[in-house]
Amino acid sequence: MPINYFIRCKQLSIVWLRGIFAAICLLLILAGTAFLTNQINCTNCDFRPKYKGRVIGKSLTFAETQMGSGIRRRLLIESKEGQRFEVKVTEVVFNQAQIGEWIKADEKTTEFSAKEIP
């Protein structure tokens, strides 16, 4: 077999490997985008970056695992539309929140009010 045949086969295999690598990268990017979109728009998740509603419940859960122990603080919120969901909150927010009070939170701030927050 001529040497050109081996050079051409090597070039084709490099092109083929680049195509597979590009396809795998594309799949990873799509999977990551889908995961992040799901986390941001999740209605049943206990972490929400933004929420607004009335506090209708508070719960503390003590957890112990092989990795250690800890406390989970959650608020049960009812939106203006009547949808109920739980959110994980910090100790400060948990201590400030009162049942029946309105709460509005985003990534940076949390507001509490006795009246509905617009």
Tens of pLDDT, residues 44-63: 555 677 889 999 999 999 98
Residues 63 and 99 in one domain: yes
Radius of gyration of the chain (CA): 25
Reference 75, options 57, 51, 63, 93; nearest CA is 57
Kind and range of the H or E element at 21?
helix 3-41
pLDDT reported for residue 55: 96
pLDDT in tens, 66-115: 989 999 999 999 999 999 999 999 999 999 999 999 999 988 899 999 88
Cα(105)–Cα(117) distance, rounded to whole angstroms? 11
Q: Which domain holds residue 30?
A: 1-41
> How many domains is the chain partitioned into structurally?
2
Q: Is 118 a domain residue?
A: no
pLDDT tens profile 15-43: 777 888 888 989 999 988 887 776 666 55
C-alpha distances out from residue 42 to 6, 14, 91, 117, Å: 53, 42, 23, 22
Query: Is 23 in the same domain as 58?
Result: no
Question: What is the per-residue pLDDT for 2?
Answer: 58
46 domain residue, yes or no: no
In terms of domains, do 22 and 64 share one? no
